[in-house]
A = this chain, B = another copy of it.
Amino acid sequence: MPTNYRATAEQLIRGTAQRVTNARIEVLATLLKADGAMSHGEIEAKLPRNSGIDRVTVYRVLDWLTTQNLAHKISGDDRVWRFNAATTAQSHQHAHFQCKCCARVICLDDFGTTTAPPLPAGYTSDEMDVTIKGLCADCAPGNPAHDASKHRHGLARRAGGLRR
């Protein structure tokens, strides 16, 4: 039997000492259940039928979860924000992978070994984003399980996708 994601989500939200609401629980539970980062649209689609949670509320909850460090926000190459539950397992700073075919985004466990290149005089930095791009296991060439239905939202179909 799978973990009770709703209960876990409620625990985490209660820990913030801010208001515990159904929308916050449902959205966080959805993120906890996911294996990769989810876009707003994907999250909305996974919410329980007739939960009555509005799209705008989902946007606001995601924003709130991010400020509470219960989720983190990833900018892909398709102008879509993606989110995932922030687990303590992964280091604060870590790289991401985005599939050029299906647009799926996953968090990697850390950076590789990385030191920033030198910046121009007067510039200061405090953060680094690393995104690896390529093909995920499902989209690997020759993969028989390569299901077209999974690729509705693929970058290849999107305006200004990953081609550079």
**Measuring CB to CB, which residues of chain A are less than 8 angstroms from any residue of chain B?**
63, 66-67, 72-73, 75-77, 79, 81, 94-95, 97, 106, 108-137, 140, 143, 160, 163-164
**A112 partner, pick from B72, B97, B108, B115, beta carbons under 8 A:** B115
**A131 partner, pick from B66, B110, B121, B129, beta carbons under 8 A:** B129
Collect the chain B residues with CB atoms within 8 Å of residue A160's CB: 63, 73, 81
Nearest 8 Cβ contacts at the A-B interface: A122-B137, A125-B134, A112-B115, A127-B133, A129-B131, A112-B117, A114-B114, A79-B79
Do the beta carbons of A119 and B97 come within 8 Å of each other?
Answer: yes
Collect the chain B residues with CB atoms within 8 Å of residue A108's CB: 117-119
A140 and B117 in contact, given A66-B164, A129-B129 (Cβ under 8 angstroms): no
Of the candidates A76, A123, A135, the one having the most CB atoms from chain B within 10 angstroms of its own CB is: A123
Measured in the bound complex, the distance between the Cα atoms of B136 and A33 in whole Å is 39
A–B complex contacts, Cβ < 8 Å, 16 sampled = A75-B75, A75-B79, A79-B79, A81-B160, A94-B117, A106-B120, A108-B117, A109-B117, A111-B114, A112-B116, A119-B134, A122-B136, A124-B134, A125-B133, A128-B133, A129-B132
Collect the chain B residues with CB atoms within 8 Å of residue A73's CB: 160, 164
